[in-house]
Structure 1
């Protein structure tokens, strides 16, 4: 069972050179992802007078996030594993593929990367703010919670199938593409309802910059629950204790 594989690690691990390099890689990847993803929404609003809420705006957001995440995962894969998402890191932890203290390094780096990206966007656009994630009219926090759980389940399940599974073989080469595609598809499915975060760091950066926290807990609880379920399902059913192996630090 994955619970027996969970490793806490040592506090000293957070100061090791390889952990710090991995944290820096996560910071840079998150900055790239959020700057491109959030920036595309700001650009669409500027060009179409708040047109990001239109069908065309939703498609543009899905494409921008899919392309940006593909790049962000790919450039970080050889250093940190290319998590680019605290929920993905949590799923890797639940499956015994990363220690708790190394996860903390990743989480801090991911959150900082998102905040810095949003601050850079605000400066570069002359004071425009990235909008915090919010629920659409008629959507309750419980509706949004289900959306975030299901969408993040799909994301982390894809991560496990293409990047974590020891039997992945050549399909591992396609992992960044598959991960980007599932995020883009989920934005098309849930973007009109709750913004389709699937990533606590992506929600955290805009919330800090514009200081708006309404319903923010949904964008943490939902992704973490969905991530844990995906990790447990894939690890228990498809990897199993007999084939499980601790991945090197350059992977998940």
Structure 2
């Protein structure tokens, strides 16, 4: 059973040069993603004088995050695997694809990347970095389930296009597929809870703006959704494979 591959990792792994290089890659890619993604939100607020959200603003945020994540995953995929998200790292840990210690190092790097990006955004724009929060009329339970489902779709996409050993040439479009699912989910969840799907993306702005209202949702929801996706895909679709995929000419 694939879950037996779950490992804590040796202590020396935390200081191994390969781990440190991967952590730096995660820091840089998360920094780029948050700087572009959150920056688009700040730009929208400036252009509208902090006016009410509009469908055009939601589409703009979706496109900005999709493009930024596509780039962020692409530039770190060959170094660290291009996680750019603690929920992705946790989902890979649950599936036995990364050790606990290495995962912790990745998550620390991702959180630091988000904090630095948020601090720089506040400095260069002179404006507040918007923290994630629930829209009017959206309950805590609704937002929690929404984050679980959206992050499930994200991490499932990561497994299908980047982790599955039988992905073949599909792996070449993994970054764009991952960016697309995040952009699509923002079109859905952006009007309800901001559509985080990424604890790091929520954490940096929360630290800089010091706004922690319902912040736990943006940790629990993505980690639960990512963990479920990793467990299901690894056990059902990877661990149970006993034959090679049929050539397309045989269908």
> Which TM-score applies when normalising by structure 2?
0.94
Give per-residue Cα distances to partners, 1:18-58, cap 9 Å, x unaligned. 00000000000000000000000101111122257211110
Alpha carbons 1:30, 1:84 under 8 Å: kept: yes
Output the CA distance in 2 between the equivalents of 1:139 and 1:60: 22
Residue 235 of structure 2 corresponds to which residue in structure 1?
236
Paired with 2:238 and 2:58, the residues of 1 have a C-alpha distance of 36
Which range moves more in the overlay, 154-163 or 40-49?
A: 40-49
Partner of 2:86: 86
RMSD: 1.1
Aligned to 2:45: 45
The answer for the alignment partner of 1:187 in structure 2 is: 186
Per-residue deviation, 1:79: 0.4
Q: Matched residues in 2 for 1:240 and 1:104: separation? A: 25
TM superposition shift of 1:65: 0.2
Runs of 5+ unmatched residues, structure 1: 244-252
| 1:237 to partner: Cα distance | 1.3
* Map 1:36-75 → 2, pairs under 5 A: 36-51=36-51, 53-75=53-75
CA distance in 1, matches of 2:49, 2:161: 39
Tell me the equivalent position of 1:31. 31
Structure 2: gaps of 5 or more residues: 243-251
The structural deviation recorded for 1:2 is 3.7
Task: Check whether the contact 1:44–1:57 (CA below 8 A) recurs between aligned residues.
Answer: yes
Corresponding residue for 1:16? 16
Cα distance, 1:171 vs structure 2: 0.4
Work out the CA distance in 2 between the residues paired with 1:242 and 1:161. 14
Counterpart of 1:123?
A: 123
Q: 2: CA distance between counterparts of 1:107 and 1:9?
A: 15
Tell me how far 1:184 sits from its aligned partner. Answer: 0.1
Offset at residue 143 of structure 1 (A)? 0.4
C-alpha separation in 2, matches of 1:76 and 1:90: 17
Aligned to 1:153: 152
Pair 1:107-2:104 in alignment = no
Q: Partner of 2:137 in structure 1? A: 138
Q: What SS does structure 1 have at the residue aligned with 2:26?
A: helix
Indicate the larger mover: 232-241 or 73-82. 232-241
Q: Is contact 2:72-2:84 (8 Å) kept?
A: yes
Q: Deviations over 1:143-170 (max 9, x none)?
A: 0000000000000000000000000000
Cα distance, 1:73–1:52 mapped onto 2, change above 3 Å: farther
Query: What CA distance in whole angstroms lies between the structure 2 residues aligned with 1:29 and 1:232?
Result: 25
Matched residues in 2 for 1:144 and 1:48: separation?
26
Change (3 A) 1:2 1:52: farther
